Structure 1
C-alpha cells in the first residue's frame, strides 16, 4: 500500500461536502516500520500552536519520544494501559498531551483548558493527515502513574496519549484488533445531535 493511500472504506462518507483532510483523518492501530523525522514532527507541533484558545492562553504542552529513543519511548509506553500498549508499541512516535488547568496571567482556574487542548490536538492530527501521518489518541492510560513518571507540576494534567506513524498492514495485528482495523467507519447522523432554535 502506498503511504498516501487510505483504504477506501476508511475515507469518511459524509452527508455534506467537508474538507478532504477531515475525511482522511483516521485513528489506525497498525503502523509501518518507518520513522517520522524531527522536521515533520515539528510541523505537527507548529500546527497545534495555532489552535484557538480562550484568552490566547495556549494551555497545552507535549512530551514525546521516537521509538528509536528506546528509554524515553518505553517511559511513555509504560503509562498506557495494556490493551492499548499491545498496538501502540508499534508507533513511530508516542506523544503525551498535557493541559494547564490554571490561567498563566491570573492563576485562576481556566474553564476551557481541556477544550482548548483538544482543539490543539485536532490541529495536530489534521496537519499529520496532510503529511500522510496518522495518529490514534488514547484515553486508556494510568493517570496517577503518568503524573508520577513525569513529575508533573500541580495543575498540569494529562489529557491523552497519541500514537503516531505511517499506515501499516492490518494483518500485523492480532484479533480482535485486526477486525476493528478493517471495519467500515461510521458516525451519528448530524440531525441526531443538532437542534435548531426557534421562537418559543
Structure 2
C-alpha cells in the first residue's frame, strides 16, 4: 500500500514514501541478501567519532521457534500484527565509547540514525519497517542475551506490506487512515526557540 506524505515543501520520494504499516504479507520470508542490504544501510549511518555503537539482534520468521520467542517480547497489541512480519530486529546501543570506556552521550542518537537508515533501505527495496516501543526490555534482553552496557531502545518489524484490500479487517481502519504530522512551522524556529 502506498501512503505518500503530503508535504508542505518538496522532499525526496524515499522519505515521502516511508511509513509504518501494520499489515504485512504473512507468507513472505526475507532472504540473506535482503537482510545484508538492510544491515549495510545501518552500517553507513553517521555516528559520533565513527563509533557505530549499535548492535542489531535479528529474528527471522524462517526460524519459527525463535521468532515466536521474540514476538512474545512485544506488547499484545503489537504481537497481533507483528506476527505477520518477516523479521524482528531488537535495536541496542553501547552506552560507552570503545576507545576510552567513557559514557557515550550520543549513543542513542546514533542508534536512531542507523535505525532510520534501515527503514529507508527497506522502503527502497519495496519493503516496510515499523519501529515499536511497546515491548518488554527485560524479556528482550534475556532472549537476545544483551550485555548490561547496551541499552535496548526499540524493536523494528520488517516485511512486505499488503495492499489495503488484502489487509485483515481489524487493521483496515488504522492502515487506511491519513498520515498526520505537525505543521512545518511548529517544528522549527530561527535564531531562538
Residue number in structure 2 paired with 1:172:
167
Please state how far the C-alpha of 1:174 moved relative to its aligned partner: 4.7
2-structure distance, mates of 1:96, 1:136: 12
* d(CA) in 2 for partners of 1:103, 1:18: 34
- Please, what TM-score do these two structures have when normalized by structure 2? 0.94
SS class of match (2:23): coil
Query: Distance between the aligned counterparts of 1:136 and 1:19, measured in 2?
Result: 20
Q: Give RMSD over aligned pairs.
A: 1.3
Aligned counterparts of 1:108 and 1:140: Cα–Cα separation in 2: 30
Task: Please state whether the residue corresponding to 1:141 is helix, strand or coil.
Answer: coil
Deviations 1:7-46 (A, max 9, x none): 3xx1111111100000011101111122211101101100
Find the counterpart in structure 1 of residue 77 from structure 2.
Answer: 83
8 Å CA contact 1:29, 1:181 repeated in 2: yes
* Secondary structure, counterpart of 2:155 in structure 1: strand
1:118-154 deviation digits (Å, cap 9, x = unpaired): 0001111111111101000000000111122222212
Q: How does 1:44-59 map to 2 (within 5 A)?
A: 44-59=38-53
Distance 2:163 2:16 in 1: 20
CA contact (8 A) 2:15 2:120 kept: yes
- CA deviation profile, 1:85-135 (whole Å, cap 9, x unmatched): 010000011111111111111111100111000000111111111110100
CA shift, 1:72, in A, is 1.8
Question: Would you say the 8 A contact 1:147–1:157 is kept in 2?
Answer: no
Query: Which residue in the other structure is 1:145 paired with?
Result: 139
Superposition map of 1:91-170 within 5 A: 91-170=85-164
Aligned 8 A contact 2:90 2:140 in 1: no
- 2 CA distance for matches of 1:190 and 1:157? 32
How many aligned residue pairs are there? 190
Unpaired runs of at least 5, structure 1: 1-5
Deviates more, 1:99-108 or 1:141-150: 141-150
Deviation at 1:61, TM superposition (A): 0.6
